């Protein structure tokens, strides 16, 4: 039964939306790019010729020749003709910031599709009003143009360790035993509910060593699945591209997500409980610009610099770094989050704990999100919910 239920609703939404209806490909450096959502590859230079394939926006094609408004092209092993007006020579740039959000629309309010790390190479499809429409890892979206540069200007010394998304697994049974060792006879530490995302550190026969918020432990590997869309849909009994599965959320998570409203610059009402001092201090810096490495209102904040500074104002000394801060305070379960808790995210623009913010209640948190943005409220959904790692309560 559980395999027909999706315990964490966002997984299927991500999975199904990530399966494109048309071909997608990452182009080579000497190609032309498709500039429309779908373009027909035909056997000859005429709309009456046979359709060989439908190509998606951003697909790279090698141009072999042109004839009366048509371009003869090669795509993989196929050769054919497309309307030349929907092609443009590729322009390649790279991310010149600690990381940069790929968004669905050219707006800081738009949904985050993915995070690209420093040095990530992408193809420019269009530029307008300070934004660039780009192709990055087979996904088309928008990035702030000010933080893109020529690839040759990227410093190899600053390149981060690449994320390893295959290390992130999802629990596919209703409840999974977490044990102290790789054996069914080992002490049971706790239960993980279905849909939980875990980081796998080691494989040993049929067992997997995983990272919990405050310790390492073991689970039976047969009940974990990769978080790529096809694996998730298959494990939950669905068909890629078929009807969405039934969404069922545990009561504690559903309660946190019932207020699913757009932020639209709204400041949520104060929540009862939690550390009012921390939340009040966090709100003081709304609107301060994001600056890579910044740790003060005068110079700007990056995500960990923001948290380090506000706790410093409350008499708590923290290091400058998301992973380092994740070792402070006491662990907090997702269902027990209170305003003022520090929440962490993993495998965003690099592997491991890589982002953090202050829980504000009403399914929202405050953080310094990205270059070109300011300290603001964000809703815990989509990309951020998918990369949620855990929380800590740090008391001033």
Rounded to whole angstroms, how far apart are CA atoms 200 and 212?
10
Predicted pLDDT of residue 223: 85
CATH class of the domain defined by 2-16+165-247? mainly beta
Tokens for 213, please give them.
């918020």
Task: Give the CA dihedral 316, 327, 384, 295, nearest 10 degrees.
Answer: 40
Rounded to whole angstroms, how far apart are CA atoms 43 and 24?
20
Rounded to whole angstroms, how far apart are CA atoms 344 and 51?
48
Find the helix packing angle between 303-313 and 276-283, rounded to 10°: 120
Predicted pLDDT of residue 213: 64
Catalytic site residues?
303, 355, 367
**What's the length of the chain?**
396
SS3 of 198-210? EEEEEEECCEEEE
Predicted pLDDT of residue 377: 94
| The domain made up of 28-89 is a member of CATH 2.170.130.10 | no
Q: Count of CB atoms within 10 A of residue 302's CB?
A: 26
SS3 (DSSP) at 218? strand
Which of 116, 127, 123 is CA-nearest to residue 140? Answer: 123
Rounded to whole angstroms, how far apart are CA atoms 25 and 16?
18
Which of 38, 86, 95 is CA-nearest to residue 63? Answer: 86
How far CA 269 is from CA of 227, 302, 363, in Å, comes to: 35, 25, 12
Same fold, 28-89 and 94-158: yes
Task: Give the CA dihedral 223, 227, 230, 232, nearest 10 degrees.
Answer: 40
Tokens for 336, please give them.
């027990």
What burial class does residue 166 get, using C-beta atoms within 10 Å of its C-beta: 0-12 exposed, 13-18 middle, 19+ buried?
exposed
How far CA 175 is from CA of 170, 180, 364, 387, 391, in Å, comes to: 12, 16, 27, 21, 21
**What's this model's pTM, rounded to 2 decimal places?**
0.53
**Domains of the chain, residue spans:** 2-16+165-247, 28-89, 94-158, 251-393
Predicted pLDDT of residue 251: 36
- Return per-residue pLDDT of the chain as tens, 396 residues: 434 333 334 343 333 333 333 333 333 435 788 888 889 999 999 999 999 999 988 888 888 888 888 989 998 889 999 998 888 877 889 999 888 999 999 999 888 888 888 998 888 888 889 999 988 877 889 999 999 999 899 888 877 665 444 467 778 777 888 999 998 888 888 888 877 777 788 888 889 998 876 678 999 988 887 655 444 445 444 443 333 322 223 333 333 333 333 332 333 344 445 568 999 999 999 999 998 889 999 999 999 999 999 999 999 999 998 988 998 999 988 888 999 999 999 878 777 788 999 999 989 999 999 888 899 999 988 888 888 888 999 998
Extract long-range pairs of 16-22: CB within 8 Å, 24+ residues apart.
16/229, 16/233, 16/240, 16/241, 16/244, 18/229, 19/229, 19/230, 19/240, 19/241, 20/56, 21/241, 22/54, 22/55, 22/56
Residues 6+ apart with CB under 8 A from 158: 118, 119
The arrangement of secondary structure in 251-393, i.e. its CATH architecture, is: Alpha-Beta Complex (3.90)
Q: Assign domain 94-158 to its CATH superfamily.
A: SH3 Domains (2.30.30.40)
Helix, strand, coil % over all residues of the chain, rounded to 5: 20, 40, 40
Strands (E), 145-259: 148-149, 168-171, 175-179, 188-193, 197-204, 207-211, 216-220, 224-226, 246-247
């Amino acid at each position: 039964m559980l395999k027909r239920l999706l315990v964490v609703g966002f997984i299927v939404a991500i999975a199904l939306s990530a399966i494109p209806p048309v071909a997608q490909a990452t182009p080579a450096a000497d190609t032309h790019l498709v500039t429309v959502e779908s373009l027909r590859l035909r056997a000859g230079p005429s709309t009456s010729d046979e359709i060989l394939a439908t190509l998606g926006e951003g697909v790279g094609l090698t141009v072999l020749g042109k004839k009366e408004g048509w371009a003869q092209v090669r795509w993989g092993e196929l050769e054919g003709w497309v309307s030349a007006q929907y092609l443009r020579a590729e322009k390649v740039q790279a991310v010149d910031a600690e990381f940069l959000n790929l968004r669905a629309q050219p707006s800081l309010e738009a949904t985050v599709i993915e995070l690209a790390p420093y040095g990530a190479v992408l193809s420019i499809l269009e530029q307008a009003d300070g934004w660039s429409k780009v192709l990055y890892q087979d996904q088309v979206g928008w990035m702030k143009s000010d933080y893109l540069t020529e690839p040759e200007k990227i410093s190899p010394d600053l390149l981060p360790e690449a994320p390893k998304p295959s290390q992130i697994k999802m629990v596919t049974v209703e409840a999974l035993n977490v044990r102290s060792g790789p054996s069914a006879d080992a002490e049971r530490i706790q239960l993980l509910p279905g849909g939980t995302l875990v980081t796998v550190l080691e494989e040993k026969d049929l067992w997997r060593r995983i990272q919990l918020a405050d310790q390492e432990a073991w689970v039976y590997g047969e009940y974990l699945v990769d978080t790529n869309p096809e694996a998730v849909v298959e494990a939950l009994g669905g068909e890629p591209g078929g009807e969405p599965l039934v969404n069922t959320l545990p009561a504690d998570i559903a309660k946190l997500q019932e207020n699913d409203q757009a932020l639209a610059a709204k400041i949520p009402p104060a929540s009862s409980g939690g550390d009012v001092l921390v939340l009040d201090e966090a709100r003081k810096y709304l609107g301060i610009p994001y600056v890579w490495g910044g740790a003060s209102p005068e110079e700007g904040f990056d995500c960990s610099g923001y948290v380090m500074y506000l706790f410093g104002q409350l008499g708590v000394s923290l290091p400058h770094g998301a992973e380092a801060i994740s070792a402070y305070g006491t662990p907090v379960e997702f269902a027990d989050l209170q305003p003022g808790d520090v929440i962490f995210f993993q495998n965003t623009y690099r592997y491991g704990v890589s982002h953090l913010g202050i829980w504000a209640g009403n399914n929202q948190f405050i953080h310094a999100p990205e270059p070109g943005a300011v300290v603001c409220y964000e809703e815990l959904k989509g990309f951020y919910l998918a990369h949620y790692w855990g929380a800590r309560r740090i008391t001033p």
